[in-house]
Amino acid sequence: MKTDSSCCNCSKPKDPGRRSALKICTGALLGLAAASAHRTHAGEISDARPEIGDFLVRTDAEGGTQPLTISDLAVGDKPILAFPLEPASGAIKSGSRLNKVIVFRVQPEEIDEDMRRNSVEGIVAYSAVCTHQGCDITNYVPKDNALICFCHFSQFKPTHGGEVIGGPAPRRLPVLPLKAENGRLVVAGKFSSKPGATAG
């Protein structure tokens, strides 16, 4: 009776070269699966809203991905646009523009009591998306103490929790509470309200 020896070779490879090839293929497949899972996880983090403990990193080319520190901001400096960064993964939460914040420093004594709890030595952070129609907010005018949206000239008072002081915006600009850890600016809470344009 004829024996089909090739069948045995399929289930129990005896060729060392073949075993090595199988190991390499298996390792490559596991590596691809891990990379895919990592990309999916990173994508989920990128879209997630700021959480307590996140750092803030500036978004312009000069700043790279270094976390913002208290010494990066002085009274009178131009505002910095930043995104949260999850320290554990190093992922920047820039997948949604609703995570962008505008950060700057004012005189601490100008800040009201409620807002003072959400600031660090006069440094405040707000959503950089107007609550009117969702335009970017990039400018702070110190003489008017106003964050201004130049699409429709909505104005918000940053020393008083982002209250509306002009224009068509229907609600306050969301505050992102801050705290300091080893000189770094760290997120201390969620946005005070939903960032972005107001529906309806």
DSSP letter string over 142-192?
A: GGGTEEEETTTTEEEEGGGTTEEEESS--SPPPB--EEEETTEEEE-S--S
Q: Identify the DSSP state of 163.
A: E
Query: How confident is the model over 103-107, as a mean pLDDT?
Result: 97
Torsion of CA 23, 24, 26, 32, to 10 degrees: 160
| In contact, 123 and 137? CB cutoff 8 Å | no
Query: Mean of the per-residue pLDDT values for the chain?
Result: 86
Which residue do the tokens 């998306």 mark? 129
At residue 113 the predicted structure's pLDDT band, cuts being 50, 70 and 90, is very high
> What is the per-residue pLDDT for 79?
95
For residue range 44-82, what is the model confidence (pLDDT) as tens digits? 788 899 999 999 998 666 656 789 999 999 999 999 999
DSSP, collapsed to helix, strand or coil, labels residue 95 as: coil
Q: Quick check: pTM over 0.85?
A: no
For residue range 9-27, what is the model confidence (pLDDT) as tens digits? 444 555 667 777 667 656 6
| In contact, 125 and 101? CB cutoff 8 Å | yes
Which residue do the tokens 């289930």 mark? 11
**Is the pLDDT reported for residue 1 higher than 50?**
no
**Is the pLDDT reported for residue 95 higher than 80?**
yes
For residue range 35-46, what is the model confidence (pLDDT) as tens digits? 555 555 556 788
For residue range 114-171, what is the model confidence (pLDDT) as tens digits? 999 999 999 999 999 999 999 999 999 999 999 999 999 999 999 999 999 999 999 9
Torsion of CA 90, 116, 125, 57, to 10 degrees: -30
